[in-house]
A and B are shown apart, each in its own frame.
Chain A
């Protein structure tokens, strides 16, 4: 069972470059999320999509955009990368919006901006 698949696993960008992080889930979940994880900061929500066709800002949305391409896929785009966006990015999904009992996380994308 694949669960939540994120690509790429690692990426190095130069300041000002753009890139898109891809996420796909095969569990027929309605809701999907993008988090970033930084040392000492815990997981912080960037954007989420409660259902196909909707997206909303989370706690730290500045510098990011998202697209819910279909029920399976939710991408995160950095238009002009900055060193402050160096982080580990996790995509997650749940059967319903902010289900306290069941988030499934991907393995993460480790992004370094130099």
Chain B
């Protein structure tokens, strides 16, 4: 079993829809949770990161962490065609010696 599981998609939704992207994990020591966005033929770019449980909002994006269920989500409101990309979750225990573990990514397509 992988430490971080992410549905690869593809996920296709109409413009303006609310998008929900999710990851599950098995390591209860993870404390830092990140979402990266990767456009085709580009490197990943950090979208949001959160510490421990709770919600964090940044414009149209909301990151949610439920440590009791070992489940994290990224919500995109009023989705735009420019949001079409692969979204990777990532997580870390946060100590100076800990690794960052990436999910395999969910490919998202927003239809105009």
Q: Which residues of B contact A42 (CB under 8 A)?
A: 4, 6, 88, 101-105
Q: Is B94 an interface residue (CB 8 A)?
A: yes
Contact (Cβ within 8 A) B34 A40: no
Q: Among A4, A41, A97, A100, which residue has the most Cβ atoms of chain B within 10 A?
A: A100
Q: Interface size for chain A: under 10, 10 to 19, 20 to 34, or 35 or more residues?
A: 20 to 34
User: A40 touching B8 by the CB < 8 A rule?
Assistant: yes
Contacts of B32 in A (CB 8 A): 100-101
B44 and A105 contact, CB distance less than 8 A:
yes
Contact with B along A69-101 (1 / 0, CB 8 A): 000000000000000000000101000011011
Closest to A9 in B: B41
What residues make up the interface of B, taking CB atoms closer than 8 Å to A?
A: 4, 6, 8, 32, 34, 41-46, 49, 88, 90, 92, 94, 96, 98-105
